[in-house]
Structure formats: C-alpha cells, structure tokens
C-alpha cells in the first residue's frame, strides 16, 4: 500500500475539467447539493455544485483532520482504514470517501435525496476519480510538482523580492 499523502503534486486545467465533469454528473444523478475534493494535507482541490456558504478552506482542513483521525481509530480496532465516513445531521448530512489514498471526496446533501442513493452513486464516481488521480500522481512521481513543470525554475530573485 502506498504511503498516505506523500510528495508534492500538481494538476493541470485539463485534469481540473475532467474532475469537474465527473462530479457534475455525480451531483446530477445523486441529487446531492455540493461536492468538495480535498487532499490529505487539507488543501482544497475543487468545489462543484451549489457554492458553499461556509469558509471552504477551513472546511477542507477540518475534513482532512477528520479523515486522518478516523484512519487512526480504524487502526486501533484492527482495520487498515475506513474508506468512507458518514455524518448525519437533522437537515444536512455529509458523506466522505477516500480517493487513491491521497484525496477525499466530501459530498453534502439534504433531504432532497437519500443516503442510499448518494452511497450508490458515490461508488461509481469514486472509481472514476481514483483512476483519474492515479494518473495525475503517476505523472507527479516523475519529478516534484514544481520541478516537473519548471514553474519556479530560476524564480529565486522573484522569491527574494517577495520577502524584502
């Protein structure tokens, strides 16, 4: 099993469009309100569907912490991890699922749909996203996120200036 959350990574606009398209299809089929993708270190990758009224950055860090804490709980009871989590509220609920051990899909839904339908449709989108992210990470293994694209190559002067 690959280590959780290792090495830098980057994704291109094409990746982003592919992710968004998959999530939009999922939201349409499941009738869920909103889907957020968060990486295991707590960075928000994408938000699709109804724009959340809360602070999505704070939400992303807490999601990653929630997932990590539950991973440890799983280990304590002899499981390698919990690959999905469900939090039920009176009106709003959320369902979280692991993608390729590096990203978390978090789906928010209310009583316009049911847990059963969300869970059913989630299985398909998790498989598709896992394939997509495995390709993204494979590319990343060829070099560090920035090194691979040369984004910050020779940017030393610019970095120095930023901190003057």
Partner 1 sequence: MSMINYASREINCKIVYYGPGLGGKTTNLEHVYGKVKPDTRGKLISLATETERTLFFDFLPVDLGTIRGFKTRFHLYTVPGQVYYNASRKLILKGVDGIVFVADSQLERMEANQEAMQNLYDNMAEYGYDLTKMPFLIQYNKRDLPNAAPLKELQAALNPGWEVTEPGKQRLAPDPYHAGENLVEQLPTGEWIEHATYFEAVAVTGDGVFETLKAVSKLVLKSLA
Nearer to partner 1, 90 or 156 (CB): 156
Closest CA to 99 of 141, 22, 140, 39: 39
Among 28, 52, 62, 92, indicate the residue that binds partner 1 (CB under 8 A). 62
For residues 40 and 123, give the distance between their C-alpha atoms in angstroms, rounded to a whole number. 20
Among 1, 13, 51, 142, binds partner 1 (CB under 8 A): 13
The H-or-E segment that residue 2 falls in is none
- Cβ proximity of 45 and 20 under 8 Å: no
Binding partner 1 (rule: CB under 8 A), the pick from 41, 81, 119, 134 is 41
Half-sphere exposure (Cβ direction) of 82: Cα atoms closer than 13 Å: 16
Q: Which residues bind partner 1 (CB under 8 A)?
A: 3-13, 16-17, 39-43, 45-46, 55, 57-58, 61-62, 64-65, 68-69, 72, 144-147, 149, 151-156, 158-160, 162-163
């Amino acid at each position: 099993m690959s280590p959780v959350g290792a090495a830098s990574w980057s994704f291109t606009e094409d990746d982003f469009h592919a992710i968004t398209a998959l999530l939009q299809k999922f939201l349409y089929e499941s009738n869920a309100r909103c889907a957020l993708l968060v990486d295991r270190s707590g960075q928000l990758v994408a938000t699709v569907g109804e724009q959340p009224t809360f602070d999505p950055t704070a939400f992303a860090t807490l999601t990653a912490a929630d997932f990590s804490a539950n991973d440890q709980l799983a280990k304590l009871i002899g499981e390698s991890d919990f690959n999905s989590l469900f939090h039920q509220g009176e009106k709003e609920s959320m369902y979280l699922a692991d993608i390729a051990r590096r990203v978390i899909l978090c789906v928010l839904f209310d009583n316009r749909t049911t847990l059963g339908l969300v869970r059913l449709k989630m299985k398909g989108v998790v498989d598709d996203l896992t394939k997509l992210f495995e390709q993204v990470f494979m590319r990343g293994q060829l070099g560090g996120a920035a090194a691979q694209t040369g984004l910050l190559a020779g940017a030393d002067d610019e970095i120095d200036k930023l901190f003057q």
